[in-house]
């Protein structure tokens, strides 16, 4: 609750948007969508927060399809926008084009997947993105084994199994969107 109240202050201060947070204790995707959609006449937009993947993708998709107001999932799109700005700045500093960068993601949840998609929309090559989760590199063989969901499968690599450490060898960018303390100085 304090996080959303803080964001509400930012919305008011920088965009003069009045907000209040509504917290729903609903685990079922369809029930969550129905409850949120029922509130549509009250709001000018919806800012989703702290909804875990993969449910967040389906919730956002359904709400965008069914509602006539903007729907924004902060964990995905807020992270992607801020990280994208940093990527553009860093590429400019080292005088590299985005399509030249080898990018590794530590984490393959909602924020990582949305950020990777955003990087591609900015000009990064999808084939230059390596996505890692707690089991290592997201590979086509892991998809075939049913080890990853359809959202992670979007960034599956046609390579042998490997770790985050393997993926980082020679990389230009590490997007750390996972738990802390998993990358060593080496």
Interior/surface letters 100-128, b for 16+ CB within 10 angstroms, e for the rest: ebbbbbbbbbbbbbbbbbbbbeeebeeeb
Residue 14 has φ and ψ, to the nearest 5°, of: -100, -15
Of 1, 7, 37, 52, which one is the catalytic site residue?
7
- Tell me if residue 37 is catalytic: no
Cβ-based neighbours of 119, under 8 Å, separated by 6 or more: 80, 83, 84, 87, 98, 103, 129
Which positions are annotated as active-site residues?
A: 7
């Amino acid at each position: 609750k304090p996080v959303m109240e803080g964001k509400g202050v930012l919305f008011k201060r920088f965009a003069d948007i009045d907000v209040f947070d509504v917290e729903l204790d609903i685990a079922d995707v369809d029930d969550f969508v129905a409850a949120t959609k029922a509130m549509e006449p009250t709001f000018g937009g919806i800012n989703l927060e702290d909804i875990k993947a993969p449910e967040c993708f389906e919730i956002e998709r359904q709400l965008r399809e069914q509602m006539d107001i903007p729907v924004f999932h902060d964990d995905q799109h807020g992270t992607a926008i801020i990280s994208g700005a940093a990527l553009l700045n860093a590429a400019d500093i080292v005088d590299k084009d985005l399509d030249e960068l080898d990018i590794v993601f530590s984490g393959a949840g909602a924020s990582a997947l949305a950020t990777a998609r955003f990087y591609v929309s900015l000009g990064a090559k999808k084939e230059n993105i390596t996505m890692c989760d707690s089991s290592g590199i997201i590979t086509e063989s892991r998809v075939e084994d049913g080890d990853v969901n359809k959202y992670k499968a979007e960034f599956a690599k046609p390579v042998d199994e490997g770790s985050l450490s393997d993926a980082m060898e020679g990389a230009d960018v590490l997007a750390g969107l996972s738990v802390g303390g998993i990358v060593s100085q080496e």
